[in-house]
A and B are shown apart, each in its own frame.
Chain A
């Protein structure tokens, strides 16, 4: 009984420590070898804590040590699995609420020229990407006057694009 409760207490203490000190723990323990989404500190500590407390509950109910161990392991695995699933779900890139602008987002966007684009020189256009109004330097095959609608055809650098007259391909 006491052993089970101690194990649970250690697990809970580790979890509490992890929550309180946060990233400090990450630098102390280096688990570079273990590169798995499944195995995490939260899962491990949760497993230990759940095993201990669940075992204690089972022993006090059934008064049978083997049953208590088995049920504690099972509950610990359940809690660990829950933590792992939750982690995996949050880590899923498809579920990212990320609005980072990437170069390929610019292609096909429609912008408006704010400074004349001369032949062979740089002008300026304004493009709205993911809701960010972005000012970009732009080149074009032919001179384009200010106020004209243009379509981005290629990305030359993080701050410059190639444009052409016309309506966007993707509305």
Chain B
């Protein structure tokens, strides 16, 4: 190797290597402490210090150098470096049956954070005790702290332990000052995690307060419920009021709309009624005109001929009556004369001829009767002849019969009957037309559906009814009872014959 490499080059390389190694060695001697550790460099002599009081000279601990968070040069051979861990240590402390200041037995669980003190004196003290047994710090301290906690609990009441932080902290400080500081340890925190007791002291402690709180809560709940109920009821009242208003409003609106609708609905029929009324008025006018026309027609066609006929009949009757009266007068005068003659004969014949006279009288009576019968037969024949001539003849026969009674009476009755007869005739002629008018609505019917229990037989019934109603209508409006009139007329026609004979009897 040396043969190949020139000595000069070898020397230069060696010098450089030596310089590098020296530097490296020196740098290696310089140690830097981490933030969680303290270096204790031993081996140097302490400085000499003179005690100002006694004058004694002694060396201090400066030879034992404590280094935290910095660098230190450790001399080889003469100095040694020791490392002390400054990290916190958690220590669980449990004590059972610790007697408190009031004599209550308590069980406590606590936790303490302990570390080596962060200053020179503490590090020195701790290094002296724990340097080679740093893991034992927890064990040592736990015993100490359990005793401390016991004495702290003994000095305080339960309430203070629980509540009085300052008092507890002060007691802890006192204890740590006396027990831990001397060992170079610092009690960072000491907290009680749990307190229990074998009796009921702790639970009784909270009972009054919890009862009070419970009472307050119950009161508050009751109040809240009351308020809620009140609010709910008030709200319901408001809702009811609002609903009432709404329904009132609705009713009002409905009334208005109904009225409007009714008005609208009525408008059509009203207009229709107006139109109908107008039509009816027009129709009425037409009817009035027609009635007038009809009247005039009747005047010309019926009444005047009837009047003429009546006049003719009346004059004929008058003539016949006069002749009949004359005839009767003549008969009576003849009878009277005959009777007078007979009476004169009887008187002249005397009383002795009573039987003859009675026979005579009887014969006279029989004769009279026969004469009456003959007269009657004659009159019946006459009346029948007259009736056959026409309706007016009956009146004449009647008048003839009545001539036997009161002449004037007979005449008046004859007059009245003639008027009724005239009216009757008129009405009888008009009646079909009226009936036609009544049936007109039915004529206009295109399709007739009869709803009746009588079935289709109701239709003729209806027609008859209409006729009857028409007659009733005439009766109610004009006061002329057609049925009665007709009946009466026919009755009187038959009666007049009987009456004539009666009248004759009366007259006889």
Q: Hey, which bits of chain A sit against chain B, CB under 8 A?
A: 1-2, 4-5, 8-9, 11-12, 15-16, 18-19, 22-23, 25-26, 29-32, 35, 37, 40-43, 45-46, 49-50, 52-57, 59-61, 75, 79, 82-83, 86-87, 90-91, 96-103, 115-116, 118, 121-124, 129, 132, 134-135, 137, 146, 157-160
Contacts and interface: CB of A to CB of B under 8 A. Distances in A.
A96 B174 contact: no
A16 B28 CA distance: 12
7 contacts: A5-B10, A18-B21, A18-B25, A18-B76, A53-B18, A87-B75, A122-B177
Nearest to B186: A159
Interface stretch (B117-125, B195-203, B335-343): B117-125
Nearest to A56: B11
B8 A60 contact: yes
Contacts of A75: 15
A82 B184 CA distance: 41
A57 B12 contact: yes
| 8 tightest Cβ-Cβ pairs between the two chains A and B | A53-B14, A15-B21, A57-B11, A49-B18, A98-B70, A56-B11, A46-B22, A101-B119
Given A19-B24, A160-B177, A53 B15 contact: yes
B26 interface: yes
A30 B125 CA distance: 28
Contacts of A146: 166
A164 B180 CA distance: 25
Contacts of A59: 7
A99 B68 CA distance: 6
B461 to A, nearest CB: 124
B166 A116 contact: yes
B46 interface: no
Contacts of B188: 135
Contacts of A102: 119-121
B6 interface: yes
Given A54-B15, A101-B120, A116-B166, A42 B69 contact: no
Contact of A42 (B6, B22, B118, B122): B22
Interface string B308-329: 0000000000000000000000
Q: Mostly helix, strand, loop or mixed at chain B's interface?
A: helix
A91 B170 contact: no
A115 B169 contact: yes
Q: Mostly helix, strand, loop or mixed at chain A's interface?
A: helix
B269 interface: no
A97 B70 contact: yes
Given A2-B2, A98-B72, A99-B69, A137 B176 contact: yes
Contacts, number: 200
Contact of B118 (A40, A98, A101): A101
Interface in B1-34: 2, 6-8, 10-12, 14-15, 17-19, 21-26, 28-30
Contacts of A11: 18
Contacts of A97: 70-71
Contacts of B259: none
Contacts of B118: 101, 132, 134
B73 interface: yes
Contacts of A35: 78
Contacts of B140: none
Given A96-B70, A122-B173, A115 B166 contact: yes
B66 interface: yes
Nearest to B123: A100
Nearest to B122: A158
A90 B117 CA distance: 27
B466 interface: no
Given A86-B23, A122-B177, A30 B121 contact: no
A157 B11 contact: no
B15 A57 contact: yes
Interface in B147-191: 165-166, 169-170, 173-174, 176-177, 180-181, 184, 186, 188
A122 B122 CA distance: 19
A116 B7 CA distance: 79
B63 to A, nearest CB: 12
Contacts of B166: 115-116, 118, 146
Nearest to B119: A101
A61 B177 contact: no
Contacts of A132: 118
A135 B22 CA distance: 44
Nearest to A156: B177
A86 B474 CA distance: 166
B177 A31 contact: no
Of the listed residues A46, A52, A53, A55, the one surrounded by the most CB atoms of chain B closer than 10 A to its CB is: A53
Given A1-B7, A49-B14, A99-B68, A15 B119 contact: no
B19 A79 contact: yes
B120 A98 contact: no
Nearest to B20: A15
B69 A52 contact: no
Contact of B22 (A15, A26, A56): A15
Contacts of A116: 166, 170
B15 A121 contact: no
B181 A157 contact: yes
B76 A19 contact: no
B76 A41 contact: yes
A45 B10 contact: no
Given A19-B25, A160-B181, A100 B8 contact: no
Interface in B25-60: 25-26, 28-30, 38
A137 to B, nearest CB: 5
Given A19-B25, A90-B73, 10 more contacts: A19-B21, A57-B7, A57-B8, A59-B7, A98-B68, A98-B72, A100-B70, A115-B165, A159-B180, A160-B177
Contacts of A42: 22, 25-26, 29, 76
B105 to A, nearest CB: 27
